[in-house]
Amino acid sequence: MSGNERQERQVVRGSKGRDGRQVEAMRKRLRELAFLHETSQVLTATLDLDSVLHALMAQVRDYFQVEAISVALLDEETGHLAFQVAVGVAAQEVVGLRLAPGQGVAGWVVQSGEPVLVPAADTDDRFYDGVDKKTGFRTHAMLAAPIKVEDRAIGVIEALNPAAGTFDEDAQRLLLAVADLAAVAIRNAELYERALQAERRYESLFNEGGDPALVLDLEGKILDVNRRAVELFGRSREEILGIVLSDLLDVPQAEFQAAIQQTLEGRQPVADIELSFGGDVRTLETHMAKIDFGGRGAIQWLGHDVSERVALEQMRGDLTHMVVHDLRNPLGSIMGSLQLIHTAFVERDQTLPVIKLLRIALRSGQKLYLLIDSLLDLGRLEAGETELNKVSVSVPPLIQEAVEQIQPFALNKKLSLSVQVDPDLPEALADRDLILRVLTNLLDNAVKFTRREGSITLAARQAEDEILFTVSDTGIGIPLEYRHRIFDRFLRLENIDGIKGTGLGLAFCKLAVEAHGGRIWVESEEDRGSQFKFALPLGTG
């Protein structure tokens, strides 16, 4: 071979060698890309973190041909690293093991945030052989890369003992890329878990809440309904789904559409609606708000039962009306009587029954007193402001006084009013004024609710360590269904002769008797009469 030929051949060989290396590098690059592509595919397969990491690790092991690979994650509270997933030799023993903060190569990687390549574990200070001792595995070479989320290491991925004996720089670069993928998987799983929890929280709020709740589409059609709403509407879930809410609730279509429009504009309309369920009318305060429902725009509708509040407001209104009325009537008679008495004197009209007119005026004045006192006492007793002025009270004169106050009204209706007092009755320890008013209230009711020519009895006797007072009448009685509510404020039943009352008297009696540590109740028979009884504890001094 000539010198020239040799030279040429060398050139040819030289160029062939360069090409070969380029081809080889390219092949390697392609393999890496294919590996990363496959690995990233794993991420989209499932959202379960353990299986994602497991699949990732398996791929890494196959690609790097390593004996073992593992992922340890940081416990944010304690700073420990806990092995979450492992693939390869001794994998089962590794999962669950923990490293103290900064311990071992893994601890170093997490603290420094840098990858590390350890060619010979037994000569590296950072290496901690505790895990090997527990598992019986023997670590020679290691490659570890931090798993970073938002620039913070939250874990580490470790590959041990490659078949080739050592890891090269490319392996380190690749493992870093895999660590990034693992970070994405962890982040996704966390976000998914958080979304799932939020959804569960919402679902349990939606379902377990005490108020009816619905999810509507943007046209007002019901997409979801909670348990309370099913109960309240008295229809099954299947029957309710798909109905336009305004049809279900029988509310005006235009109003409902206007509320939807407001909701879509970002406002939260509130409205009171009345619903009637089997004769029971309830008022719901409804709230609407725009929400995201499984990725689509929807409207949440919440109803809050405010029937009690509305009833109370109604009662307050009624009460004001009644009180004004009740105050006006006796005042009217007082003014009328005084007017006539004035005429009698000024015009010397002797035909006018002045004495009778005076009696009417006095009686009406008495009524006004009673009513005003009851109102004031009720307010005070309810607020717990009344300090009882307890003294030893002799019962017969107390009873006498009450009867004297009511006698004129009884006479007016030709009712007999008799008294039965046990002669040996001991004294009661009581607030005399309050108990007097309890008696006059009960007697006043007995007069009001007994037809002309009936009879009323007021009795008092000792029963064990109590004094028992009974006001009996032969009046209209109280229907059974109202008996347990008769002492509630504002309760008034259909009365005879259009008798007006405030429904406050018995509520006052109950509060006053209970303030004494006593009890009050009623026995009654419709159309035959009632017996209101109250017992006061005997005075002990």
* Stretch in the footprint of ligand ADP (CB under 6 A) among 4-12, 74-82, 115-123, 472-480: 472-480
Site for ligand ADP in 337-356 (CB under 6 A): none
Specify the residue, 67 or 473, whose C-beta has the smaller distance to ligand ADP. Answer: 473
Specify the residue, 265 or 494, whose C-beta has the smaller distance to ligand ADP. Answer: 494
Site for ligand ADP in 399-458 (CB under 6 A): 445-446, 449
Cα separation, 249 vs 255, in Å, equals: 12
What is the closest distance, in whole angstroms, from the C-beta atom of residue 377 to ligand ADP in the complex?
13
Specify the residue, 464 or 494, whose C-beta has the smaller distance to ligand ADP. Answer: 494
Give the H/E segment covering residue 86. strand 81-88
Specify the residue, 249 or 311, whose C-beta has the smaller distance to ligand ADP. Answer: 311
Residues 498 and 491 sit within 8 Å (Cβ to Cβ) = no
* Stretch in the footprint of ligand ADP (CB under 6 A) among 73-81, 145-153, 234-242, 489-497: 489-497
What is the closest distance, in whole angstroms, from the C-beta atom of residue 322 to ligand ADP in the complex?
8
What is the closest distance, in whole angstroms, from the C-beta atom of residue 395 to ligand ADP in the complex?
21
Cα separation, 417 vs 421, in Å, equals: 13
Does 459 help bind ligand ADP (rule: CB under 6 A)?
no
What is the closest distance, in whole angstroms, from the C-beta atom of residue 461 to ligand ADP in the complex?
20
CB-side exposure of 14: number of CA atoms within 13 Å?
6
Show the binding pattern over residues 517-536: x = contacts ligand ADP (CB under 6 A), - = does not: -------------x------
Distance separating the N- and C-terminal Cα atoms of the chain: 143
Among 192, 215, 196, 201, residue whose Cα is nearest residue 297: 215
Does 495 help bind ligand ADP (rule: CB under 6 A)?
yes
CB-side exposure of 297: number of CA atoms within 13 Å?
10
Specify the residue, 386 or 502, whose C-beta has the smaller distance to ligand ADP. Answer: 502
Specify the residue, 46 or 420, whose C-beta has the smaller distance to ligand ADP. Answer: 420
What is the closest distance, in whole angstroms, from the C-beta atom of residue 532 to ligand ADP in the complex?
6
Alpha-carbon distances of 136 from 9, 91, 139, 166, 250, rounded to whole Å: 55, 11, 10, 21, 75
Residue 132: Cβ within 10 Å count: 15
Q: Which residues contact 399 (CB under 8 A, 6 or more apart)?
A: 419, 421, 439, 458, 460
Cα separation, 388 vs 247, in Å, equals: 57
Tokens of 328: 């006006």
Residues 466 and 538 sit within 8 Å (Cβ to Cβ) = yes
Residues 123 and 88 sit within 8 Å (Cβ to Cβ) = no
Does 155 help bind ligand ADP (rule: CB under 6 A)?
no
Specify the residue, 126 or 363, whose C-beta has the smaller distance to ligand ADP. Answer: 363
Burial class of residue 331 (count of CB atoms within 10 Å of its CB; 0-12, 13-18, 19+): middle
Q: Which residues contact 101 (CB under 8 A, 6 or more apart)?
A: 78, 79, 80, 81, 107, 111
Does 475 help bind ligand ADP (rule: CB under 6 A)?
yes
* Stretch in the footprint of ligand ADP (CB under 6 A) among 5-13, 191-199, 474-482, 510-518: 474-482
Residue 195: Cβ within 10 Å count: 10
Does 375 help bind ligand ADP (rule: CB under 6 A)?
no
Residues 522 and 478 sit within 8 Å (Cβ to Cβ) = yes
Specify the residue, 203 or 488, whose C-beta has the smaller distance to ligand ADP. Answer: 488
CB-side exposure of 371: number of CA atoms within 13 Å?
22
CB-side exposure of 61: number of CA atoms within 13 Å?
18
Does 502 help bind ligand ADP (rule: CB under 6 A)?
yes
Specify the residue, 99 or 456, whose C-beta has the smaller distance to ligand ADP. Answer: 456
Find the binder of ligand ADP among 159, 298, 506, 520 (CB under 6 A).
506
Tokens of 407: 């006698």
Helix, coil or strand: residue 300? strand
Give the H/E segment covering residue 451. none
Specify the residue, 409 or 449, whose C-beta has the smaller distance to ligand ADP. Answer: 449
- Phi first, then psi: what are they for 149, rounded to 5°? -120, 125
Does 315 help bind ligand ADP (rule: CB under 6 A)?
no
Site residue total, ligand ADP (CB under 6 A): 21
Among 465, 385, 375, 380, residue whose Cα is nearest residue 429: 465
296: β partners: 293
Specify the residue, 39 or 530, whose C-beta has the smaller distance to ligand ADP. Answer: 530
Residue of this chain nearest to ligand ADP (CB atom) = 501
Does 491 help bind ligand ADP (rule: CB under 6 A)?
yes
What is the closest distance, in whole angstroms, from the C-beta atom of residue 482 to ligand ADP in the complex?
7
Specify the residue, 296 or 528, whose C-beta has the smaller distance to ligand ADP. Answer: 528
Does 501 help bind ligand ADP (rule: CB under 6 A)?
yes
Tokens of 48: 């379960």
Specify the residue, 503 or 537, whose C-beta has the smaller distance to ligand ADP. Answer: 503
* Stretch in the footprint of ligand ADP (CB under 6 A) among 52-60, 329-337, 386-394, 501-509: 501-509
What is the closest distance, in whole angstroms, from the C-beta atom of residue 486 to ligand ADP in the complex?
5
What is the closest distance, in whole angstroms, from the C-beta atom of residue 203 to ligand ADP in the complex?
48
What is the closest distance, in whole angstroms, from the C-beta atom of residue 376 to ligand ADP in the complex?
15
Residues that bind ligand ADP (CB under 6 A): 445-446, 449, 473, 475-478, 486, 491-493, 495, 501-507, 530
